[in-house]
Amino acid sequence: MKVLICASEGAPFAKTGGLGDVIGALPGALKANKCDARVIMPYYKRIKQKNIAYYKGYAYVNINGRSEYVGIFHTVHDNVDYYFVDNERYFNRDELYGHDDEGEMFAFFDFAVLEALKVINFFPDVIHCNDWQTGLIPYIKKANYSAYPEYNRIKTMFSIHNIQYQGIFGKEIMNTLFMPYSNSLEHNGCINFLKTGIMESNVINTVSPTYKDEVLTSEYGYGLESVLGLRYDDFVGIINGIDVVKFNPSTDPNIFKNFDKRNYKSGKKENKQALLEMFGLDTNEDVPLFGLVSRLVDQKGIDLLMPIIDDVITHSNAKFILMGSGDKLYENFFYELESKYPERFKCFVGYSDSVAQKIYAGCDIFLMPSKFEPCGLGQMIAMRYATLPLVRETGGLKDTVIPYNKYTNEGTGFSFDKFDPQALKEVMYIAIDTYNNNKDAFATLRKNAIKQDYSWSSSAQKYIELYNKITN
């Protein structure tokens, strides 16, 4: 099986979020399952400056009335072939996203991917597209390459990582595209790249079974629920995995004390003490420590935390270490809490891999009260470090966290259903009470959590099954 994975970002070269993590991990897992998986992505300025790739050749594509140069560069990372599409006009920029010509920019990339196949002499069985930035590829392949047998036999798969972001542009963008019009391109009077990927791919998936069900509803579908309904029989949910090499408490160089399943009790204690000391909090008290590592945006449920955290701080012994950046409203909220409760609440506004790992390893409870979460990685990372996630039952959070059952002591964390501050407060108090007054139960939950296997190996096998399904 030969697969070309197309994406707008991928770790370790360029990453802004979960998509980058997936593209950084999935190809290696596929290769471990004897699948020839390769990656193609833009040759952004930040990648080019590292001078790690070698020139392979060039092509041209027609866009916006111009013949645009397509340079192809190549490198190998962790035994995976990565190809980069070079063009100074579109990719010689400091930021990956947010440009006024973003529609044209990624339309160019989609055209370039298909031309690149000839340059690299790699005609895969499946082109695996990811998110709206690659949504035109299945349609361009049909519209512009149907006369070529080597292209005709290629199947396409389209992965939705977050349906909120769709690539919506005015109809005038059609003036830039060298391809015929189709209803697949249009949604609600605009050109919608995500809809195009949904309608024109052989199979569609998203990143957890629950999120797949959610996006078929008006609450979570962001206007595309009816479109997905048309492709229901070709739509599946596959939970993401995590990089178990990077997120390994026994070898992680970023944490204070390495530990594994055998000695996690002492390891957790040492990491917690060192984390408290690092943030200037009292290390002499045995109290529950909450952690959060998140983008500070509406999706992440910070709005639920804001009205209730004063109550939790003043009526419990819990302490908090929160890290993230984003909306200034949330950042200022963190700063104010730290000023108000300097002995109970600390924040790190920004992001650091090193600090994030220390929070995962040192905290007792990890907060993820998300409004929606297609898959989520934080809850799986937390469990790997014997930290209990506290999550809302949505998307991948619902699929990966088994809620605590006080009657049986079963579970791997704590959860709540309703998107409501009171629901969050109630489960936070349950977690605090369990830590303070039922040490055995809390220890059992930790033991359960650290045993969970969310490696990419099982997810990769499910992807391969999909690839086989559409090619056979």
Domain boundaries, the chain: 2-241+456-471, 264-450
Residues 65-74 as b or e (16 or more Cβ within 10 Å = b): eeebebbbbb
pLDDT by residue for the chain (472 residues), tens digit each?
999 999 999 999 999 888 998 999 999 999 999 999 999 999 999 999 999 999 999 999 999 889 999 999 999 999 999 999 999 999 999 999 999 999 999 999 999 999 999 999 999 999 999 999 999 999 999 999 999 999 999 999 999 999 999 999 999 999 888 788 899 999 999 999 999 999 999 999 999 999 999 999 999 999 999 999 999 999 999 999 998 888 999 999 999 999 999 999 999 999 999 999 999 999 989 999 999 999 999 999 999 999 999 999 999 999 999 999 999 999 999 999 999 999 999 999 999 989 999 999 999 999 999 999 999 999 999 999 999 999 999 999 999 999 999 999 899 999 999 999 999 999 999 999 999 999 999 999 999 999 999 999 889 999 999 999 999 9
Total-model pTM? 0.92
Would 2-241+456-471 and 264-450 be classified into the same CATH topology?
A: yes
Quick one: CATH architecture of 2-241+456-471? 3-Layer(aba) Sandwich (3.40)
Domain 264-450 bears CATH identifier 3.40.50.2000: yes
Of 63, 22, 461, 430, nearest to 207 by C-alpha is 22
First CA to last CA distance, the chain = 11
What is the C-alpha radius of gyration for the chain, rounded to an integer number of angstroms? Answer: 23
- The answer to whether residues 190 and 168 touch, using CB atoms and an 8 Å cutoff, is yes
**Three-point CA angle 49, 50, 53, nearest 5°:** 105
